[in-house]
Amino acid sequence: MRPEHPIVLITGASSGFGEAMARLLASQGCHLALGARRVERVQALADELQKAHGVKVFAGAVDTRHTASVDTFVAEAAAELGGLHVLIANAGLASGTYKMWETPDEDLEAMMRTNVEGVVKTVRAGLPHLRKAGWGHVFFIGSTAGHQPYEGGSVYCASKFGVKAMAHSLRLELNGEQIRVTSVDPGMAETEFSNVRLKDGAKAAAVYQGVKPLSAFDVAECVRWCLMLPDHVNIDEILVKCVDQASAYKLHRRS
């Protein structure tokens, strides 16, 4: 049975979807474990949310590419907060818009290690705490790129197809346990995503020109809704796009 105040662990919580999820779930009375490489940002967020909502918030450094970092963060968070109920494997990124044969090792490894390996390491470290609690929910943050590939996104799309496969596999593997599994797969959303991917502020701004994209809070609301449903209800997958985006190839831009 879902506790009155679930303890929620979020990776990549220093900005974007992760920060929005932290803010929304804190307002719902959830206790939080917030992790990111930019630890000073998650600590400031933790201090703010504790003061605003009276919830317990643990903040720590985590680099999901490294097993020791993930294991330490999860163990410290569970010890500080008294356990874990919800895992949100949010940390992820796109790096570049290369054709497959042009992709540098640095970008290839950043995407695959963060988007695939980092998710496995987060779930692997956190799942024993959910099992111990007797109730849990695992959220994967996928993408429309995991449903429809596009030019210049071969590695990123591959990583998000991998996230979809992992979510579906875990759902099968946990069947019979009181642990829900959900993949939230957003389309175009205005966060730091394009800045990180394109490494150019003007190019990043142009991505959203003439479009009303999803916000980070729109995606956070998908997580909140799934989490707060009755215990016997599992939303396996949410594919969510703004009205202006019909597919990876069809986008309405207002003049």
Q: Which residues contact 119 (CB under 8 A, 6 or more apart)?
A: 64, 89, 92, 140, 163, 166
Catalytic residue among 98, 150, 156, 208: 156
As a whole number of Å, the CA-based R_g of the chain is: 17
d(CA 8, CA 82): 11
Q: Are 124 and 136 in contact (CB under 8 A)?
A: no
Active site (annotated) includes residue 249 = no
Q: Are 187 and 242 in contact (CB under 8 A)?
A: yes
Structure tokens of 77? 């968070």
Q: Are 138 and 180 in contact (CB under 8 A)?
A: yes
* Alpha helices, H only, 113-215: 118-133, 154-173, 193-198, 201-207
CA atoms within a 13 Å half-sphere pointing along the CA-CB vector of 218: 17
Q: Are 37 and 63 in contact (CB under 8 A)?
A: yes
Catalytic positions, written as ranges: 156
